[in-house]
Amino acid sequence: MWLVGVWCSVVALATILVTRWIQKWRNPSCSNEGVLPPGSMGFPLIGETIQLLIPSPSLDLHPFIKNRVQRYGPIFRTSVVGRPIVMSTDSKFNHYIITEEGKSVELWYLDTFSKMLPIYGVGSIQKYIRNIALSHFGVESIRERLLPQVEQIVQKTLRSWSTQKSVELKHATSSMLFDFTLKQMFGYDSENSPEKLSDKFANFVHGLMSLPLNKPGTTYHKCLKDQKEVLSMMRGIVKERLASPDKRRGDFLDHAIQDMKTENFLTEDFIVQLMFGILFGTFEPISAVLVLTLKLLSDHPLIVEELTAEHEAILRNRQNPNSSLSWDEYKSMTFTLNVINEVLRLGNVAPGLLRRVTKDIKFNGYTIPTGWDIVLVTPALQLNPETFKDPVAFNPSRWKCLDSYTISKNFMPFGGGIRQCAGADYSRAFVATFLHILVSKYRWTKIKGGSIVRKPILDFEGGLEIEVSEEKTNEDIA
C-alpha cells in the first residue's frame, strides 16, 4: 500500500514540475523587470518550428510571419528549434540592430549551419574573410578580370544546354556556379575531374535544411558524407599547393597561403573551410536567383521583349561585334539591373538576418534579453505594400520611380552595415551577364515546373525545366 502512496507522490511531483516547466517555457521571464515583445513560445523544445516550416506556395511573405504580425505587431517573440527568438519586421528596429553589430548583438546561425560552415560564426576573423572575398570577387576584380570569364562560362554552358532536350535549371545553374567558383579559387578543372563534385555539393546544401539526424539512410547523413568528400578534395589541393611553394598562380588559394605568414588563425584547415564557406555563399543564392529570374521571365513575355531590346542594342552599338562584354556595357544595362533588383526583392533568397543578443536591448518599451536570438525579417520590408505597390507583382519598371532613400531603407537582399554581403556586385554582374547572353543569343521556353514554394527558404517544387534553342546570329540581331 505504501508503495502506491510513494508512486502517487512521485507522479504528482513530476506533474507539478512539468506544468511549471511548461508555464515557464510559455511565459519566459525578462531581466531587470523589462517587458518581452508579445508572442507565443509554442510547445516546449520544438517551439513553433513546425509552423515556420509549413511550405507556402507563394512569393509573398510566409504566413508564419504575416499571421503573427497581424496578431502581435511588427516585433514579436517566438521559439524555433528550441531557441527563444524575437522576429522583427520593423524597419527602424532592423536598422538599429544592424548598427549594433559587435556592440549588443553578434552574428548567429542555426546550429546546423554553424557546425557545417564554422567560418561563418567567427566574429573577429570576419574582416579577413570579407577582404579576401572582396579582393577576388569585388568590383575591381569584376571589371578587370571576371566579366569576360563569366561571359565565357555562360556561353559554354548555354551552348551545351542548347544541345539537350531539356535542362533542369536549378541543377544546371548550380553546377555551372560550382565549377566556375572553384576555378577562380584554385583552378579547378571540372572536365578532368573524376567525379561530379557539384552534385555532392548540391546534396550537402539540400541536407542543411533536413532534420539533423545522423543515421545511415537519412538526408542529413548523406549531407555529411557528401560534405566530407568535397572537403577532402579541397584539402588535397591545399596540401598540394603547400608542398610546392614555387608554383604560384595568384588565385584565391595562393592569396590565403601567402597570408598564412601574417595571420595566425590561417591554418590549412581554416583555408579549406573558408573556400567551402565562400563556395556555399555563391552556389546556392545565385542559382536560386537565376532560376527565379527565368521562371518570372517565362511568365512575362513583354518584359523579355524589353530586356532583349536592351541587349540587342548593346550588341548593335559595338564597334567590334566579336568583342566581349565590357564594364561600360554592363553598367549601361539599366533595365536588366531593374529586373535583377525586382527578382532579388521578390526572391528573398536570404529569408532574414540572424543575430544573437550579447547585451540586453531596449526598444519601444520592450526588452530583448541577453542570450536571445533576433531574426530581422528583411522580406517583410521588401514586400511591404506601402513601399512597393502590389508587392507580389513582378514589375521591374517600378524601380524607375523609387528614390535611393526608400531603396536603402527597404531593400536589403544583401544585408547591411559592416556585414553587408561581399559578393553583392559579383552576383549582380553574374546574373546580368547570364541574361545578356541568354536573351541576345538564344531562345528558350519553359517545359515544366517552376511552382514556387517557401519553406521559408525559396524552392521550386519539381524544379524548373526549360528548353534552350539554337543561337541567334549577329545577322539576326542587326
Least distance in angstroms from the C-beta of 302 to ligand HEM: 25
User: How far apart (Å, rounded) are the C-alpha atoms in residues 184 and 279?
Assistant: 10
The correct pick among 66, 83, 130, 206 for binding ligand HEM (CB under 6 A) is 130
Judged by CB under 6 A, the residue of 133, 205, 257, 343 near ligand HEM is 133
Query: E strands along 316-442, which residues?
Result: 353-357, 361-363, 366-368, 373-376
What distance in Å separates the CA atoms of residue 387 and residue 402, rounded to the nearest whole number?
Answer: 9
* Closest residue by beta carbon to ligand HEM: 423
Rounded Cα–Cα distance for residues 330 and 319 (Å): 16
C-alpha span between 312 and 467 (Å, rounded):
21
- Min dist CB 286 to ligand HEM, Å, is 5
Distances (CA, A) of 262 to 150, 155, 259: 32, 40, 5
Residue with Cβ nearer ligand HEM (36 or 368): 368
Is residue 289 close enough to count as binding ligand HEM by CB under 6 A?
Answer: yes
The residue among 102 and 415 lying less far from ligand HEM, judged by its C-beta, is 415
C-alpha cell at 446: 519553359
Q: 130 or 221, CB closer to ligand HEM?
A: 130
CB of 379 to ligand HEM, least distance (A): 11
Q: Which is nearer to ligand HEM, 42 or 351 (CB)?
A: 351
DSSP string, 292-321: HHHHHHHH-HHHHHHHHHHHHHHHHT-SST
Helix (H) or strand (E) holding 354: strand 353-357
85, 64 Cβ separation under 8 angstroms: no
Q: Cβ closer to ligand HEM: 314 or 375?
A: 375
**174 part of the interface to ligand HEM, by CB under 6 A:** no
CB 165 → ligand HEM: shortest distance, Å? 29
30 is in an annotated binding site: no
Question: Is there a contact between 236 and 244 (Cβ–Cβ < 8 Å)?
Answer: no
- Residue 274 touching ligand HEM (CB under 6 A): no
Q: Is 271 in the site for ligand HEM (CB under 6 A)?
A: no
Judged by CB under 6 A, the stretch of 49-57, 86-94, 296-304, 414-422 that binds ligand HEM is 414-422
Give the largest CA-CA distance in the chain: 101
Q: Among 37, 42, 74, 281, which residue sits at the site for ligand HEM (rule: CB under 6 A)?
A: 281
285 binds ligand HEM (CB under 6 A): yes
Contact status: 415 vs ligand HEM (CB under 6 A): yes
Q: Does 126 bind ligand HEM (CB under 6 A)?
A: yes
CB 460 within 8 A of CB 476: no
Q: Which of 146, 275, 350, 361 binds ligand HEM (CB under 6 A)?
A: 350
Contact 223, 210 (CB under 8 A): yes
Among 202, 339, 349, 368, binds ligand HEM (CB under 6 A): 349
Number of shown-chain residues binding ligand HEM (CB under 6 A): 25
The CA-atom distances, in angstroms, between 112 and each of 84, 116, 210 are 17, 6, 9
- Nearest CA-CA partner of 346 in 404, 408, 308, 398: 398
Residue 185 interacting with ligand HEM (CB under 6 A): no
Residues 351/380, Cβ–Cβ less than 8 Å:
no
Query: Could you say whether residue 353 binds ligand HEM (CB under 6 A)?
Result: yes
- DSSP code per residue over 198-217: HHHHHHHHHHHTS----STT
> Taking CB under 6 A as the rule, does residue 422 contact ligand HEM?
yes
Q: Could you tell me which residues are annotated as the binding site for heme?
A: 421
Q: Could you tell me which residues are annotated as the binding site?
A: 421
Applying CB under 6 A, which residues contact ligand HEM?
A: 107, 126, 129-130, 133, 137, 278, 281-282, 285-286, 289, 349-350, 353-354, 413-415, 419, 421-423, 426-427
